[in-house]
Amino acid sequence: MMGRTHAASGLAVAAFVATATNAPPLDALALFIGVPGFALLPDIDHPKSLAGRSLGGLSGIPGRLLRHRRETHSFFGVSVFTALTAVAVWAGDHWAALAWLWFIVAVASLSALRAFGLTTRRSVWLPVAALVGATYVAANASWTLPVAVATGMLIHIFGDVVTRGGCPLLWPFTSRRFQLNWFRTNSPVETLFLWAFVVISFIGIGSYAAVAYATLPGSHP
Ligand SMILES: [Zn+2]
């Protein structure tokens, strides 16, 4: 599955989760921004992916150490990333915790910007805003963050399972790849899914905003 389809599927699910749980506005915003980015994170196992290229040489390191569509495309990998993030949120001000949180949030936000075509060579303010935002989120991380990491990564893996190639979901216990083989990456069927996710995202975010507005204190005279 292409990066933009992964990111759009993340946005669609985030919109649904925010509406279904009636998330407070700041949490909803974190989901809308975070989940599409974390839905690109598993491909950090490939140096040429959106995630692998997001922070230059730094984000390229995992791609040299890991095998593509193995560690980060398994339930074990998702658990490790989620647990590391949860421990980092708990550890708070420790430098290693802040470094981990900053790294994954920066990779996720920069990858999402690229996936949606929001970065050009001329406009640097969005990537700069993403890096400043990553610093803010790392310093003020809440429990929404590990939830967003797990949700985004699982959405990504599901996206790869439905395309040809599949994922070794139960690695390291078995390297058997699970695949549904619905369509090939970058095929017309994938484009259809992409547009479906975009439409669902618009409807989801719109209905979240409508519900949030209707329940605002003072909106019922
Ligand atoms: Zn992948």
- Taking ligand 1, which is a single-atom ion, which protein residues have CB atoms under 5 Å away? 42-43, 160
Whether 219 is covered by a domain: the verdict is: no
Whether 167 is covered by a domain: the verdict is: yes
- What pLDDT is attached to residue 72? 95
Whether 91 is covered by a domain: the verdict is: yes
- What pLDDT is attached to residue 122? 66
- What pLDDT is attached to residue 221? 53
Ligand 1 center to residue 93 CA distance, Å?
Answer: 32
Q: Which domain holds residue 210?
A: 3-214
Q: Of 216 and 130, which is predicted with more confidence? A: 130
pTM for the whole structure = 0.91
What confidence category does residue 98 fall into, taking pLDDT thresholds of 50, 70 and 90? very high
Whether 221 is covered by a domain: the verdict is: no
Whether 189 is covered by a domain: the verdict is: yes
- The answer to whether residue 63 scores a pLDDT higher than 60 is yes
Ligand 1 center to residue 156 CA distance, Å?
Answer: 6
Whether 181 is covered by a domain: the verdict is: yes
- What pLDDT is attached to residue 150? 95
Whether 15 is covered by a domain: the verdict is: yes
What is the per-residue pLDDT across 160-190, written as a single tens digit (0 to 9) for each? 999 988 999 999 999 999 989 888 888 999 9
- What pLDDT is attached to residue 125? 85
- What's the whole-number mean pLDDT along residues 79-93? 94
Whether 73 is covered by a domain: the verdict is: yes
Ligand 1 center to residue 10 CA distance, Å?
Answer: 13
- The answer to whether residue 218 scores a pLDDT higher than 70 is no
- The answer to whether residue 197 scores a pLDDT higher than 90 is yes
- The answer to whether residue 43 scores a pLDDT higher than 90 is yes
SS3 string, the chain, reads CCHHHHHHHHHHHHHHHHHHCCCCHHHHHHHHHHHHHHCCHHHHHCCCCHHHHHCCHHHHHHHHHCCCCCHHHCHHHHHHHHHHHHHHHHHCCCHHHHHHHHHHHHHHHHHHHHHCCCCCCCCCHHHHHHHHHHHHHHHCCCCHHHHHHHHHHHHHHHHHHHECCCECCCCCCCCCCECCCCECCCCHHHHHHHHHHHHHHHHHHHHHHHHHHHCCCCCCC
Ligand 1 center to residue 167 CA distance, Å?
Answer: 8
Number of domains observed in the structure of the chain: 1
